[in-house]
Amino acid sequence: MNSYHFNIYPFDSKQAQDCIVHFDSGIYHVHVEGKKIGVMVKNRNEEFAFQTDDKELMPLLEEISGNLHELQNRATFKDILLKKYSEILSAEFTDQETLALTLSDDTDLGDFASCLSDVIYDDVEFDEHLNVILSNISGDEVRDIQIN
């Protein structure tokens, strides 16, 4: 089972509420502030790509689907970088805001960081802030690229 955790602002509220979505066997189980408010399934024919019969969940579909889409784009971002740049040996999220990239020792870290900074937004399809930390295998030097 995969779980996704983010804040939502339901019903035009200015107060953030904790939302956890558990995905299991094709069904998304949605919890807001610890209370299960319903289930939804993917349906690309629906306006927000999900459908539900739960009345409490219906007004939240747009915001929840947007958050899930954002999280999915962030998760695939590391795979895009790995495929695009052979210099990157590994890419791992160390937390929700940090992506650590390990480069081969024969890659000039400064040159690669400069090049990546210039083109990284070509592959960014999310709005949330992300720190991209670059280091060589030896770890003797580190560069940081701030996204969004």
Indicate the pTM of the whole model: 0.69
Give me the sign of the Cα torsion angle 70, 12, 30, 34: positive
**What DSSP assignment string belongs to 66-92?**
HHHHHHHHHHHHHHHHHHH-TTEEEEE
What pLDDT is recorded for position 140? Answer: 78
Q: According to the model, what pLDDT value does residue 83 have? A: 94
pLDDT reported for residue 125:
73
Q: Amino acid letter at 23?
A: F
Q: pLDDT under 70 in the chain at which residues? A: none
State the pLDDT at residue 96.
Answer: 80
- Number of H helices and E strands in the chain, helices first, is 2, 9
* Of 74, 78, 98, the residue nearest 89 (C-alpha): 78
Angle at the Cα of 11 (from 27 to 23), degrees rounded to 5? 15
Would you list the domain boundaries of the chain?
A: 2-71, 85-147
Q: What digits encode the pLDDT tens for the residues 57-80? A: 999 999 999 989 888 888 888 899
